[in-house]
Amino acid sequence: MLGDKTRFGFFKRYGNWTRSSKPRGILEICLGSSGDWGKHLSDLAFRAYELHGCTYSLKKTPPRKTEWRFTISSPRVIRDLMPYFDTSWTGKTWKIAPAFFETQTEIIAGLLRGYMDADGFVHISNTRGVRVESVNKDGLLGIQLLLAKLGIESRIYTRKSRRAWALQISRKQNVSGYRELVGFSLPHKTRALRSICNLYK
């Protein structure tokens, strides 16, 4: 339960909070072209909060193409997340709340899984491993510290061509540790992770 709440909560940084005529917040998350994300988040919201009041549907958002949006409106969820997530966060300013550095392994793993489900991917090349890229170096440093708490080593380096930073988990011990302790919730990422772990054998 706690792991599901933590994992669901981290998706909040991708959403826009707006005000309605009632004293509640509305969280809308851009899902891009994949409707599978909506099903995944709906299932996660139900497991974490037994919440039925969330939807996902296609919307036309000029000048962008048609994309999937996930919407949730629940004062209970907002109250639960507010101590740990700031509504003013952007892609460049989000951070890990201090409480997460002092919590149980299950919570840390759930938070990392939620973040990597959203932004992480399996990199298959000469430097195969698990990677995540961001314009927020401080945010990645927080992720790196949480990984270290699970005994998973990683490195952060500059992606000059994209004006961003990348966090890379490499080497058999670290990738296997990530797979065992964190992993992915999304099937296609789980399959890719399994495939590179097999390459190390």
CATH, residue 178 = 3.10.28.10
pLDDT of residue 171: 92
Work out the pLDDT band at 130, boundaries 50, 70, 90.
very high
Is the domain of 94 the same as that of 71?
A: no
Work out the pLDDT band at 179, boundaries 50, 70, 90.
very high
Distance in Å from the first CA to the final CA of the chain:
34
More confidently predicted of 69 and 169: 169
| Number of domains observed in the structure of the chain | 2
CB neighbours of residue 117 within 10 Å: 20
Work out the pLDDT band at 1, boundaries 50, 70, 90.
very low
Is the domain of 101 the same as that of 164?
A: yes
- Residues in a beta bridge with 56: 70
Given a cut of 50, whether residue 13 has pLDDT beyond it is no
Cα-flanking dihedrals φ and ψ of residue 179, to 5°?
-60, -40
Is the domain of 74 the same as that of 130?
A: no
Residue 3 contacts residue 103 (beta carbons within 8 Å):
no
Pair type for strands 129-134 and 121-123: antiparallel
Structural domain range at position 77? 1-85
Give percent above pLDDT 90 in the chain: 37
pLDDT of residue 60: 58
Is the domain of 58 the same as that of 104?
A: no
Is the domain of 186 the same as that of 102?
A: yes
Is the domain of 99 the same as that of 164?
A: yes
Q: Which residues contact 158 (CB under 8 A, 6 or more apart)?
A: 164, 165, 166
Work out the pLDDT band at 34, boundaries 50, 70, 90.
low
Least confident of 32-41, 98-107, 116-125, 126-135: 32-41
Mean pLDDT, the chain, integer: 79
pLDDT of residue 45: 76
CATH number at residue 67: 3.10.28
Is the domain of 27 the same as that of 99?
A: no
Given a cut of 90, whether residue 118 has pLDDT beyond it is no
More confidently predicted of 118 and 133: 133
pLDDT of residue 61: 60
